[in-house]
């Protein structure tokens, strides 16, 4: 064999094995493998010289090349193994898996505060034997006004307040028509609670054109203002918290006689006076009274054989008081950040 080729082979052997061993990453090691043992690598280049060799030297040269190839492949495998091991140890040391990190929490939906209040009222009133009724949102003029003894010239019918659908239909302005549907379709004694959206042509910082009310009605053989006061006082304590007082202020509603406005002592300052109760210690939550005999007459219920009381509260208002919400317009905005605060 020509000493020239022999020297080249020895050089490749020693350089390649030294570089394989000195490689600092499996990537650079692989690049070296390509450089020395690849299809157009150094060893292949030397192989090409075989063609110029005398015939009898070819087998010896070929044998030598194969030996070096096998030797270098062995060095490569060992170096690769050592590097992979080192790299793995390095990863284990640096890429720590912190099992104490909090897990990803799936965002849960939450009930809208209006429906949270409604559900709570249902639960409290169910304990007094009340069950739930609903009614249409588009009401006949008769149910929204007439049957409730609201005459044609009553201010509640004013174009300012009522959304008229046509001459005889309105978007209900209150939940009181639910009383009439119940009186017409059911037989007393009755203890019902009705709820849902109501609509008024009114919008400012403390009024929404679409808000919610809750209506209660009790019809029995002997019903007094004392029963009404007892029921509402119980409800206020259960809903807002123990120790809260309820007071009735004389008022007027066409469908009740006598009528009263219901105030509860301010749940925030407990009656001492704060900005929520405008420093009066009291907050108005709705209206109530004994059912006007005219309403019974319209619904063909015999009075005084049957008597009753009714009350109506604003749901958003109760939510504002209970949860300390400072702007009624947050309710219909549908901002998930607001609603999420009521996750239970």
Task: By CB under 6 A, name the binding residues for ligand DAH.
Answer: 174, 176, 215, 253, 256, 286-289, 310-312
Q: What is the DSSP letter of 166?
A: E
Q: How far is the CB of 287 from ligand DAH (least distance, A)?
A: 3
* Distance, CA of 344 to CA of 108 (rounded, Å): 10
Q: Which is nearer to ligand DAH, 69 or 207 (CB)?
A: 207
Rank residues 76 and 296 by Cβ distance to ligand DAH and give the closer one.
Answer: 296
The SS3 of residue 295 is helix
Q: How far is the CB of 107 from ligand DAH (least distance, A)?
A: 37
Instruction: Please identify, using beta-carbon distances, which residue of 43 and 291 lies nearer to ligand DAH.
Output: 291
Q: DSSP states of 44-79 as a string?
A: HHHHHGGGGS-GGGHHHHHHHHHHHHHHHHHHHHHH
Instruction: Kindly state the smallest distance separating residue 176's Cβ from ligand DAH, in Å.
Output: 4
Please answer whether residues 182 and 197 qualify as being in contact, where contact means their C-beta atoms are separated by less than 8 angstroms.
Answer: no
Tokens for 100, please give them: 């104490």
3-state SS class at 310: strand
Residue number of the CB atom closest to ligand DAH: 312
Compute the distance between CA of residue 147 and CA of residue 222 in angstroms, rounded to an integer.
22
Nearest Cα neighbor of 256 from 135, 196, 174, 161 is: 174
CA dihedral 143, 148, 153, 155 (to 10 degrees): -100
In the complex, the smallest distance separating the C-beta of residue 238 from ligand DAH, rounded to whole angstroms, is: 19
Of 33 and 191, which has the nearer Cβ to ligand DAH?
191
Cβ closest to ligand DAH, residue 33 vs residue 174: 174
For residues 235 and 311, which CB has a smaller minimum distance to ligand DAH in the complex? 311
Q: How many CA atoms lie within 13 A of 114 on its CB side?
A: 20
């Amino acid at each position: 064999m020509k000493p020239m080729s022999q020297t080249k082979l020895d050089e490749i052997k020693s350089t390649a094995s030294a570089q394989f061993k000195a490689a600092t990453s499996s990537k650079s090691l692989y690049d070296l493998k390509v450089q020395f043992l690849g299809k157009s690598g150094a060893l292949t280049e030397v192989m090409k010289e075989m063609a110029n060799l005398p015939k009898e030297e070819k087998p010896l040269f070929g044998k030598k090349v194969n030996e070096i190839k096998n030797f270098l492949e062995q060095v490569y495998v060992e170096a690769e193994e050592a590097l992979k091991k080192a790299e793995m140890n390095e990863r284990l040391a640096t890429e720590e898996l912190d099992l104490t990190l909090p897990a990803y929490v799936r965002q849960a939906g939450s009930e809208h505060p209006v429906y949270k209040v409604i559900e709570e009222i249902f639960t409290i009133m169910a304990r007094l034997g009340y069950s739930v009724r609903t009614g249409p949102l588009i009401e006949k003029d008769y149910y929204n006004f007439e049957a409730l003894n609201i005459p044609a010239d009553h201010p509640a019918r004013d174009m300012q307040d009522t959304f008229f659908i046509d001459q005889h239909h309105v978007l209900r302005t209150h939940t009181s028509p639910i009383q009439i549907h119940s009186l017409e379709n059911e037989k007393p004694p009755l203890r019902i609670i009705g709820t849902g959206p109501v609509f008024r042509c009114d919008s400012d910082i403390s009024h929404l054109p679409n808000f919610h009310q809750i209506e209660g009605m009790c019809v029995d053989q002997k019903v007094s203002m004392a029963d009404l006061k007892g029921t509402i006082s119980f409800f206020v304590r259960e809903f807002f918290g123990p120790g809260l007082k309820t007071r009735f202020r004389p008022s007027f509603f066409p469908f009740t006689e006598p009528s009263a406005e219901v105030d509860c002592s301010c749940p925030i300052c407990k009656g001492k006076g704060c900005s929520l109760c405008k420093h009066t210690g009291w907050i108005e939550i709705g209206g109530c009274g004994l059912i006007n005999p005219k309403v019974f007459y319209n619904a063909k219920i015999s009075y005084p054989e049957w008597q009753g009381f009714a009350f109506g509260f604003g749901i958003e208002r109760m939510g504002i008081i209970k949860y300390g919400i400072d702007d009624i317009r947050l309710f219909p905005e549908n901002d998930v950040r607001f609603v999420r605060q009521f996750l239970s």
